[in-house]
Amino acid sequence: MKLGIIVLSVLFFNGCLGGHNRPMQLIFEVGAKYPPAAKANGIEGQVTLKYDISVDGVVHNVSVVQAEPKGVFEQAAKRAVEQWRYKAPILDGVSQPVTGVVSTLKFVLADGQYADY
């Protein structure tokens, strides 16, 4: 199993590191705002989102894949990710859109305060 992962990694990086290729890169990230009611009640959780990235690096089609607890952090997570910006990947010198990107945002209180990490 490890050999298969190494081979795939080598193939991936060889394809992306050429002169006319580049992997996608997050260039602007906004942290999610902790919902005041959740913060006041000491609620922690996480939200997994799925989204697409256009050739100009804008995030589109954000949807919730999973949220724990449900109904608490979804909107804050979506608002943050919708503001993120990427450098779209380049393949053979042409910017490419990306579909199905998955990110998980964690909402954690540290000593009663929101830890933005």
Kindly give the pairing relationship between strand 94-95 and strand 98-110: unpaired
Task: Evaluate whether residue 13 is within a structural domain.
Answer: no
Task: Evaluate whether residue 73 is within a structural domain.
Answer: yes
**pLDDT given for residue 3 in this prediction:** 39
Mapping DSSP to helix (H, G, I), strand (E, B) and coil, where does residue 88 land?
A: coil
**pLDDT given for residue 110 in this prediction:** 83
Please give the model's pTM, rounded to 2 decimal places.
0.76
List the domain range (segments joined by +) for residue 50: 20-115
Lowest mean pLDDT among 19-23, 49-53, 91-95: 19-23
Task: Evaluate whether residue 6 is within a structural domain.
Answer: no
Task: Evaluate whether residue 39 is within a structural domain.
Answer: yes
Q: Are 89 and 96 in contact (CB under 8 A)?
A: yes
Task: Evaluate whether residue 28 is within a structural domain.
Answer: yes
Q: How many domains does the chain have?
A: 1
Q: Domain of 105: which CATH number?
A: 3.30.2420.10
Task: Evaluate whether residue 2 is within a structural domain.
Answer: no
Lowest mean pLDDT among 6-10, 36-40, 56-60: 6-10
Gap between the Cα atoms of 116 and 34, Å rounded: 9
